[in-house]
Each structure stands twice: as structure tokens, then as C-alpha cells.
Amino acid sequence: MKKKFTFVNQNYEMLNKEQKPIGFTYSSENIEVKPRTQKMYRYTVIIIAFLALLVAAFFYIESMKHSERGKGLESMGAPTADTGKQADEQLRQPGMPADFKPEVLPEGTAASYTFDLIVPQENKYEVRSSIDVTNTSEKAWSQISFYFFPNQLGDMARDQCRGKVLTWVVDKCLNEIGTSNMELIGTKVNGQATDYEVEGPWLNVPLRAILPVGANATVEISYSFSLPNPINGERGHDLLQWHPMLPDYTYDWIIQPPAYGKETYSAAPANYHFRYKTPGNLMAVTSATDLDQSSGQGELKENSLKEMHVLLLDGYQMVKTMAGPTEVRVFAQEREIEGRGKNVLGTAVEAVGFFSARLGESPHKQIDIVLTEERKGSYPGIVLQPAVIHGEDKFYMPIEESQDHLLVHQLAQQWFYGKVHFDRYKDAWLNDGLSELAASLFFFAGQKKSEEESFAFANAYDDFYIMRTDVKSNLPADKYIGIQGGLVGHVQAKPVLHLWKMMKPYGTETALDFLSDYLSAYSAKKLATIEFIRFTKAYFKVDNQSFAEWLDFNPYENGDFIDFFSL
């Protein structure tokens, strides 16, 4: 029997100069072929010998480990200068570099609002608004657009009904909503009547003449509306997003779509002049600094607010105290003011005092906490604290949340939403996630609870597999429906777990300093996730790998913001 082979060298190249394979043949007539059983025996012996070597190596390595541990324990009491130097190199001290300069997004709009709110009868609200608008973008405008939610109050009420737990309760709520009427009386630009277009939660006002860069215009909008149930409560009326809000502008108006369970609108901070006239039994609680007896009528002015939230309360009582320079007021019905009301006030004063000392002064001179049955929320200068806490994610098993945790988290949002500007549709985690981290640090460093108890809310979501790396914390808000853990798990809890892992080696003091320096660097400025990454990389001397599992490095790569950010 003859066999034919082709020779190649170690690089699998042919050997002869003509680049042709060199062949040869040989005869196998004189080759002794050993029986198969003999080959199998040889293979078995080799395998046994190999396993024996592995076992011997394992025991040798283990003995060396024990020996090294013993030497290490002997030397722990007296570290040398060399080992101390190495430790310092391994754990570089964090902090904001002296030459670090924030790179922020430009604000394309500026506004100043004047509102007159009149309540002529039960559940009828008449509004006259005058908004001074300035084009601070790099492009002339042919129209001015506003968020205009009075046209969507019925849909907002239905969303609240769908948040109920029991099916029959949902059905009952939907049947009792009733009607919400909105009548837009007219619009004017610089005193001249103009056309308008209402589309969902948006109001578009075409301009007769182009508004060039740097120019300003005054837009007047007159309308009336009523509140549907369950928004229109028996003892309190939350007007929600009752007034027009000017969004940001780059190459077009940045008006984001709504997302179930999340407020996605964003408006630049502005100055507000608010006048109101209501029935004498209603007490006005607003985002501005209110007088204690503010029922009937009043006039308020406040600067640098993102919106003017208004509640009209009937039969509520108030207790208050100071937390440093910030006045904290709690509003509750008479039966709750002594028990639940004062308990909430005590926790709130402790938290506001802690945040003021560690994160910087509150953006509001006055923070009002209104005790509700089920509604929760954090708005400029106002926190709604429910007696019954429902999870925001209706599609998953909810994580149990304590009263103290919800209250402290919502108070922290007064800093992270109140001081810094960002797109809440894509970067809501800059509010929810950082506020959750601040709340956890309050329990850990402020109340001296255990680490396990302080971070329990975020860790509970980790048990529901929120750490999957394909779901980032800065996706658009409507992309979390149907994902295990939902929006709260990925936007509020996940950032805490990753950031605390980064900060834990340095301790709570450094973590709080980081949050304080972040708020100081970006106060009254607009940023996006990619700028937070740049800031944190510089602060902790880490690389992109620290963020790759939980943040999309540049979600704006196909959008308007690509001109402003790059890693």
C-alpha cells in the first residue's frame, strides 16, 4: 500500500521555489501495525499518569498558599514603606481635577411666565397666561411650541386608574372618571391674534414673521379646564401640569412622547409670576415660597423654577419647622396631623438637614410635603407622600417600599432634579438613580443603618435580574415596558449598584463628596449621560469599562446632541 503526502513548512507555506507542493510517496508493506488493544492500553496509562501529576500539582499549590497566608498574617502588623506606597498606587485618591471643565449642552430657549388662575366655581379653572420667550438657539423659528397638558387630563386620569391593583377597582375608577373639559379661548403673539394647533399634549403657535436668533416674543394663551376624577379629589385638587411649558430647542423643538408611569417632559428653569383667586375654603400650596395663610387669593414670584406646581387643599392643617435655612411644611387632614403628619415632618427635617449639609443648599427656600391617600410625586418645592404605596411598574411583581424610603428618595429629587437640567425622556436616571444613591447614603451615613438595610431597595431589584448588560439605564423611558425589573429597576436601582461598587472602597464620605461636587459643577446647567461619564472618569480615575455594562455611551449618536458630546 502506498501513501502520498504534501510537505509544508511551519507557516503552512509550500516548500519549493515554484510555489508548488513537494510530494513524496512511501510504501507501507514493511510497517508493523500494532493491535488496537495495545494502543488503548498505552493511552490509558498516559491518561492515568497525567491525572496523577495534576493531583500532585494541586496539593503542592495548596500547601504554598497556606504558607503564603502564614507569612502574610505575620507581616500584617508592621507594613513597610514599600507596601504602603504600593497600596496608595492601587487605591488612588478620587477627586475633581483642578483643570476639569464641564462640557454642557446649550439651552436653546429662555422664558419668563406670568399666570392668572381664577376658580369661579367648583372644578372650573380659568387661566390667562403671558409668556416672554427668547430664542437662544442657533436657528431662527417659524413657530413656537409648548407642552400643553390640560388637553390630556382625561388620559392622565385613566392612567391613574390603571395603576390600581384589583381589576374591579380599575373598572370602577374608569367608570367614575367623568369628563374633563378644556376650552382654548385664543392665542396672541406680540398682541396680535394668531392661529394655533393642539396635538395631544402639544400646542403649536405659528409665527407671522420668523423669530431670529437672540430675538424675543410674547405669547398669550387663554383657556379654561376642569379636572376629571380621580384627579379631582374630595379634599384636595392637584392641578398637575396645568400651565403651558416651553421646551428646549436645538435644530427643532424637543418635545418628547409620554411614557406610561413616567413624566418625560422637560422645561428649562424660568422666572414665574403667579396670581390666583380661589374660593375661600381652598388653601393654595405651590412651588413658590408660600405664605402660611394662602387661601382666597394671592400673588407669588419665584425664580429658576422648572414648573409652577399648584395644589388647592380643603380642610388640611399644617405643621412646620426649619431644617437649616430651609422651611419644611407638612400638610395633612385633621385626623392625621398629630400622628402621621408629625412623623413625616421629623423624618423630612432630618433628611433635608443631611442633604443641605452634604450636598449643598436646597434649591428651594421652602419644601412642602402633602400627605395623600395614594398619589406620590416630587415636583419643584413639593412632595406628595401617599399612605398606600403602589409600585410604578404594573407589569412585574412590585418591590415593597417603606414610607421612610419613599419620602427620603423624593426629597433627594429636590436636589438632583431641582438643581441640574437634563432630558427626562432619555436621562431620567440622572434624577432617579442619583437620588436613590443619595437616599441610601442618608440611611447608611446619616442614620447609621447597616449597609444591607441602607441599600435594600436597590438590592431587591438585583434579585430580579436587572443586571443584564443589554438593558442600559439611559434608554428612552418608554423602552422599559415588558422588561424584567421595569423602569424603576433599571433607571433607579441599577445605577446605585454600579456606582456604589465604584465608590465603596473609598467610603461614604467620598461618595457624598462626589455627589456634592457633581451638583456644584452642573448646577443650573444642562448635561447628558455622556458628560456624567466624563466627569466620573476624571473623578475616580476609571476607564470606560466601569460604565459599559449599564450605560449607553452615546444614545445621541443619531440625534441632535451628537454635535455637543463625544468620548
**pLDDT one-digit tens code per residue, 270-279:** 999 999 999 9
Whether residue 486 is contained in a domain is answered as yes
Element (H, E) at 299: strand 297-305
* Lowest-confidence segment of 383-392, 531-540, 550-559 by average pLDDT: 550-559
Whether residue 118 is contained in a domain is answered as yes
Whether residue 373 is contained in a domain is answered as no
Residue type, 77: G
pLDDT number for residue 151:
85
Angle between helices 508-522 and 494-503 (to 10 degrees): 120
Whether residue 433 is contained in a domain is answered as yes
Query: Sorting pLDDT into bands at 50, 70 and 90, what band is 65?
Result: very low
Whether residue 499 is contained in a domain is answered as yes
> Residues 487-496: pLDDT tens digits?
899 999 999 9
> Residues 341-387: pLDDT tens digits?
999 999 999 999 999 999 999 999 999 999 999 889 999 999 999 99
Asked if the model's pLDDT at residue 11 lies above 90, the reply is no
Of 333, 408, 411, 414, whose CA–CA distance to 372 is shortest? 333
The set of residues, in sequence order, having a beta carbon less than 8 Å from that of 40 and lying 6+ positions away, is none
Cβ distance 541 to 486 under 8 Å?
Answer: no
* DSSP annotation of 488: I
Asked if the model's pLDDT at residue 485 lies above 90, the reply is no
pLDDT number for residue 110:
98
Whether residue 246 is contained in a domain is answered as yes
pLDDT number for residue 3:
42
* C-alpha–C-alpha distance, residues 24 and 159, integer Å: 83
* C-alpha–C-alpha distance, residues 177 and 154, integer Å: 8
pLDDT number for residue 150:
92
Q: What CATH number does the domain containing 159 carry?
A: 2.60.40.1730
pLDDT number for residue 78:
35
* Lowest-confidence segment of 81-90, 147-156, 292-301, 421-430 by average pLDDT: 81-90
Whether residue 241 is contained in a domain is answered as yes
How many angstroms from the chain centroid is the CA of residue 480?
13
> Residues 108-122: pLDDT tens digits?
999 999 999 999 998
Query: Cell for 211?
Result: 423669530
How many residues are given for the chain?
567
* C-alpha–C-alpha distance, residues 358 and 508, integer Å: 11
Domain span including residue 244: 110-306+415-547
Among all chains, which residue has been given the C-alpha cell 416674543?
Answer: 217
pLDDT number for residue 74:
34
pLDDT number for residue 69:
34
Q: What percent of the chain has pLDDT over 70?
A: 73
Whether residue 319 is contained in a domain is answered as no
Q: What percent of the chain has pLDDT over 90?
A: 63
* C-alpha–C-alpha distance, residues 239 and 225, integer Å: 10
* C-alpha–C-alpha distance, residues 113 and 246, integer Å: 10
Asked if the model's pLDDT at residue 86 lies above 80, the reply is no
pLDDT number for residue 34:
41
Domain count, the chain: 1
**Burial group, residue 199, by CB count within 10 angstroms (0-12, 13-18, 19+):** exposed
Q: What is the mean pLDDT of residues 21-35?
A: 41
* Lowest-confidence segment of 31-40, 142-151, 372-381 by average pLDDT: 31-40
The residue among 115 and 173 whose pLDDT is bigger is: 115
Query: Sorting pLDDT into bands at 50, 70 and 90, what band is 296?
Result: confident
